[in-house]
Chain A
Amino acid sequence: DAGVIQSPRHEVTEMGQEVTLRCKPISGHDYLFWYRQTMMRGLELLIYFNNNVPIDDSGMPEDRFSAKMPNASFSTLKIQPSEPRDSAVYFCASSFGTGGNQPQHFGDGTRLSIL
């Protein structure tokens, strides 16, 4: 079975550029989560969707970050403009059923470096 698919795996770009991260959740899963992981802060939830609708975006650091889920099989996380402090590994995860009580399955992540 295909797991959560993220692209790109690595992204290196200069400060000020727009960055778009992509995620395809596991088919049939109705929850989708975007996380950011750094050594200092660990794994932080940025935003999550239920049935393509954003439910909680309180973890989005600031207006430079935005996320969309136009359909059940695709989501994007966009950073515009990017800054060096955005450098981190960004994970997408999906689950079926009540998001907090069901296991979340993670994609391989996107390692983002902003120069």
Chain B
Amino acid sequence: QKEVEQNSGPLSVPEGAIASLNCTYSDRGSQSFFWYRQYSGKSPELIMFIYSNGDKEDGRFTAQLNKASQYVSLLIRDSQPSDSATYLCAVSQGNNRLAFGKGNQVVVIP
């Protein structure tokens, strides 16, 4: 079983709509969860982190964490063309490492 799983298929959303990304993880001991955005040919950029169950909002982004079900999600409200990128889910592991998912490509259609 992979440590962090994300649906790899591209997600196409119309401009102004909500993009919803999901991530599941295998290590029940994980404490910290991160979402990175990566534009094509660029490096991953941290956009959200969440440590506690529930929702965390930052501007148009909302991270949701459910440790019992071992999933973390990212919602992008009012999607803009500039949100078109690959979103990487990262989950902390007990040995000071982060495990990354392969990413979800989002395409916002004007």
Question: Which residues of the other chain, B, contact A82 by a CB distance below 8 angstroms?
Answer: none
Contact A104 B98 (CB under 8 A): yes
Contact A101 B32 (CB under 8 A): yes
- How close is B34's CB to chain A, nearest CB, in angstroms? 6
Q: Does B102 contact A (CB under 8 A)?
A: yes
Contact residues of B: prevailing secondary structure: loop
Contact B96 A99 (CB under 8 A): yes
Q: A48-B97, A101-B32, A103-B49 are in contact. Are A42 and B103 (CB under 8 A)?
A: yes
Q: Does A98 contact B (CB under 8 A)?
A: yes
- Which size bracket describes the interface of B in this complex? 20 to 34
Contact A108 B43 (CB under 8 A): yes
Q: A45-B97, A45-B98 are in contact. Are A101 and B46 (CB under 8 A)?
A: no
- Total cross-chain contacts (CB, 8 A): 55
Give A96-115 as 1s and 0s: 1 = Cβ < 8 Å from B's Cβ atoms. Answer: 00111111111111000000
**Contact with B96, one of A42, A43, A48, A106 (Cβ below 8 angstroms):** A48
Chain A residue total in the interface (Cβ 8 A): 22
Q: How far is the CA of A50 from the CA of B97 in the complex (A)?
A: 11
Q: How far is the CA of A50 from the CA of B46 in the complex (A)?
A: 21
Q: Does B22 contact A (CB under 8 A)?
A: no
Q: How far is the CA of A105 from the CA of B45 in the complex (A)?
A: 7
Q: Does B93 contact A (CB under 8 A)?
A: yes
Chain B interface (Cβ < 8 Å from any Cβ of A): 31-32, 34, 36, 42-46, 49, 51, 88, 90, 92-98, 100-103
